[in-house]
Amino acid sequence: MNARFRILLPIASLAVLLAATFYMQPRAMSYFGLNLLFNLAVPIALATVAQMMIIMVNDIDLSVGTFVSFVACVTATYLNDAPLIGALILLAAIAGYAAIGALIELRQLPAIVVTLGMSFVWGGLAILILPSPGGTAPTWIRTIMTVKPPLVPMAIVASVLIAVIAHLLIMRTSSGALLRAVGGNARAVARSGWSLVRLKAAAYGLAGVFGAASGICLVGLTTSADANIALRYTLLSIAGVILGGGEFTGGRISPVGAVIGALTLALAGSFLSFMRLSPDWQIGAQGAILILVLSVRLLFARSNRKKGAAQ
Amino acid sequence: MTIWKAPWFWSWAAGALAFAATLLLTDGRNGGDLLSAALTFASFSAIVGIGQMFVITLGPGNVDLSIPASMTLAGTLSLKFMGGDAALIVPGLMVALGVGFGAGVFNYLLIRLLRIPPIIATLSASFIFQSIAIWSNRGLRIKPPQSLSDFTTGATLGVPNLALVALVLAVIAWVILDRSIFGRWLSAFGQNERAARLSGVPIEGVRALTYIGCATLAGLTGFLLASFSGGAALNMGTEYLLVSIAVVVIGGSSIAGGNSNVPGIWGGALFMFLIVSMLNSYGLGAGVRLIVTGGIIIGIVAAASKKGARA
């Protein structure tokens, strides 16, 4: 599958789901409706891009959800009460993320286990900072998240912005190409003189940055935080990357696709409530949509292979 | 082979250390109670850990993320089926095992038919299992039959019944892994899938049985845990996702697959409980407990990788 083709399926999935939603609930086809549909998509999109950075270097991050929760707790407490200390804590957390990446490469550790361990650590820190749900969102983030730009709702503008930034960063810079190459052929990258430890640290650091942004935006929407606020983001972010056409190995990822994947997952929830499906089935339907998209992708890949064989 | 070189030695040593540190605080009192509590709670982790170990042995990328959902679904459906009627205990057990079996078949079919990585397959499946559990549970808490509840909380000759069940399963798992052709096939698969296939190992059969076995064990654990704790709760499986992977790693099995051991699972399971009770008895809160647990998991894999590099 080449890069251009890779992006088609996620776009088609989102379009189909959006059309179905408008069909079920025509009133959603408005500024206000769209804002409501995609409101919670922004933090999910950021978390998905964070996960994509890790999947890009052939690892997988099981700590995204607890990290976003941790950042949310810091944002609703320190970043609000003492912005300087709050910012320092977040910077230290991002540096911690990069250090984990370096450690994983240095000691050749299985990322899935290390990030699993880290998920305990972030969860513990979150509970220490905010033992019971509460806190207050800083006014500035609240303002940014609730701003009403003309014509297009904030959630859409923000998603496009995230997609463009991630795309430029990963697909259009030489360092981005290098990072993808780590996933493609780490040995070749190392042989040509690059430090894998530094590159892995960079990928994990980027994940930390996007994860932190996700936590901050989440608090901007919810106005308060708790230590378990984003636990499901771990699974949602993995699903989003895959829905967006990313693959687990080979550095084959698509930042734009990842954001679209996240939007699709967020929309799936709204769609099901419009269908008057009981909320019990919301999680299950997300699983079903994931399976459906992967089946379609398999069909595409098969027909592609047949064409390739015929030529 | 000297005993301290055995892969499972360190998990037992660490467990014993945590046990001793706890007793130090209480001047050796309540040692028996602590041990029996540790054996009981470690049983749940050990049973799911054995299943997860078999899956992880299949090699990189193989991990069952649907264990918590399968546990919850099996616990919910079997308790609902029994409805507190002691005459239905055996059929109830069959329902739990059947649910687990079905979940395993579903996982395997997704992996086989859609060719999707096991992580995503078991993840999507878990969304669906979770939804079915939510739908059928409806917030009701059905009590298990009294005699079943007595069995799961009781002891025979001073040893908790649950520990006996888990011990028998561990022995069976050890025989399968170390003394049967299936165990050889499994290790061969994990070490080199291609070589295994070329030398005539029925790899699809091995993979199918492994995933089905793991989910069936998860179903059994859900049944026992629900009976033990007086009813199925929707979040009852949550912590077992991390625990099941952690006990495999702490137990000295290779996370890269192809090399596993059963005694380590018990060592890891006892350690995971004892470390928590140690920190508890030293009066540390949930936050610190989580941070220490995560730190230990990362420390153990980092230390183990050094050993592997030297060997």
**DSSP characters for A110-173?**
-HHHHHHHHHHHHHHHHHHH-SSSB----HHHHHHHH---SSS-HHHHHHHHHHHHHHHHHHSS
> Quick check: A310 pLDDT over 60?
no
DSSP type of residue B138: T
Cα–Cα dist B191/B168, whole Å: 28
Q: Is the Cα dihedral A29, A33, A39, A40 positive or negative?
A: negative
The residue of chain B with its CA nearest to that of A289 is B124
Q: What is the average pLDDT across A124-147?
A: 89
DSSP type of residue B158: T
* A-chain residues near B298 (CB < 8 A): 103, 113-114, 117-118, 121
Q: Is A88 helix (H, G, I), strand (E, B) or coil?
A: helix
CB pairs under 8 A between A and B: 137
Cα–Cα dist A112/B61, whole Å: 9
Residue of B30, B49, B212 lying closest to B122 (CA atoms): B212
A284–B131 CB contact, under 8 Å: yes
> Quick check: A1 pLDDT over 50?
no
For chain B, say whether A250 makes contact (Cβ under 8 Å): no
| Type of residue at A203 | A
Q: Which residue would you say has higher pLDDT here, B187 or A90?
A: A90
CB atoms within 10 A of CB B130: 22
Share of chain A above pLDDT 70, in %: 96
B124–A287 CB contact, under 8 Å: yes
Best of A108, A116, A128, A296 to disrupt the B interface by mutation (most B CBs within 10 Å)? A116
DSSP type of residue A225: B
- Cα first-last separation, chain A: 16
* A-chain residues near B242 (CB < 8 A): 116, 119-120
pLDDT tens, residue by residue, B263-308? 888 988 998 888 888 888 888 888 898 898 888 888 878 877 654 4
> Quick check: A99 pLDDT over 90?
yes
CATH class of the region B31-304? mainly alpha
B242–A248 CB contact, under 8 Å: no
| Secondary structure element (H or E) that encloses residue B178, with its range | helix B161-179
* A-chain residues near B115 (CB < 8 A): 298
Q: Tell me the shortest Cα–Cα distance from B239 to chain A, in angstroms.
A: 11
| Type of residue at A275 | M
B38 and B277 Cβ atoms separated by less than 8 Å: yes
Q: Is B156 helix (H, G, I), strand (E, B) or coil?
A: strand
B288 and B45 Cβ atoms separated by less than 8 Å: no
Length of chain A: 311
Cα–Cα dist B244/B252, whole Å: 13
* B-chain residues near A110 (CB < 8 A): 249, 255-256, 301
β partners of residue B159 = B156
* B-chain residues near A239 (CB < 8 A): 120, 123-124
Cα–Cα dist A13/A262, whole Å: 11
Instruction: Kindly give the confidence (pLDDT) of every residue in chain B, 311 residues in length, as a single tens digit, with 9 standing for 90 and above.
Output: 566 667 778 788 888 888 888 888 777 667 778 888 888 899 999 999 999 999 988 887 788 889 999 999 999 898 888 887 888 888 889 999 999 999 999 999 999 888 888 888 898 898 899 888 888 877 667 888 888 888 888 888 878 889 889 999 999 999 988 888 888 888 888 888 888 888 888 888 889 999 999 999 999 999 999 989 888 788 888 888 888 888 888 887 777 777 788 888 898 899 888 888 888 888 888 889 889 888 888 887 887 765 444 33
Residue of B93, B1, B23, B64 lying closest to B274 (CA atoms): B23
The packing angle between helices B286-310 and B9-25, to 10°, is 150
Cα–Cα dist A223/A56, whole Å: 32
Cα–Cα dist B311/B299, whole Å: 19
Q: Tell me the shortest Cα–Cα distance from B166 to chain A, in angstroms.
A: 24
> Quick check: A179 pLDDT over 80?
yes
> Quick check: A122 pLDDT over 50?
yes
- Average pLDDT score over chain A: 87
Cα–Cα dist B201/B212, whole Å: 18
> Quick check: A307 pLDDT over 80?
no
Q: What is the CA radius of gyration of chain A?
A: 19
φ and ψ at residue B160, rounded to 5 degrees: -55, 135
B141 and B233 Cβ atoms separated by less than 8 Å: yes
For chain B, the domains span 31-304
Q: Tell me the shortest Cα–Cα distance from B144 to chain A, in angstroms.
A: 24
Shortest CB distance from B286 goes to which of A103, A117, A127?
A127
pLDDT tens, residue by residue, A10-68? 888 889 888 988 888 888 888 888 887 888 889 999 999 999 999 999 888 989 999 99
Place of tokens 């939510």: B134
Split at pLDDT 50, 70, 90, the class of A258 is very high
Q: Is B292 helix (H, G, I), strand (E, B) or coil?
A: helix
For chain B, say whether A117 makes contact (Cβ under 8 Å): yes
Cα–Cα dist A244/A256, whole Å: 8
For chain B, say whether A24 makes contact (Cβ under 8 Å): no
- CATH of region A3-301: 1.10.3470
B61–A248 CB contact, under 8 Å: yes
Share of chain A above pLDDT 90, in %: 39
Cα–Cα dist B228/B276, whole Å: 20
Q: Tell me the shortest Cα–Cα distance from A114 to chain B, in angstroms.
A: 5
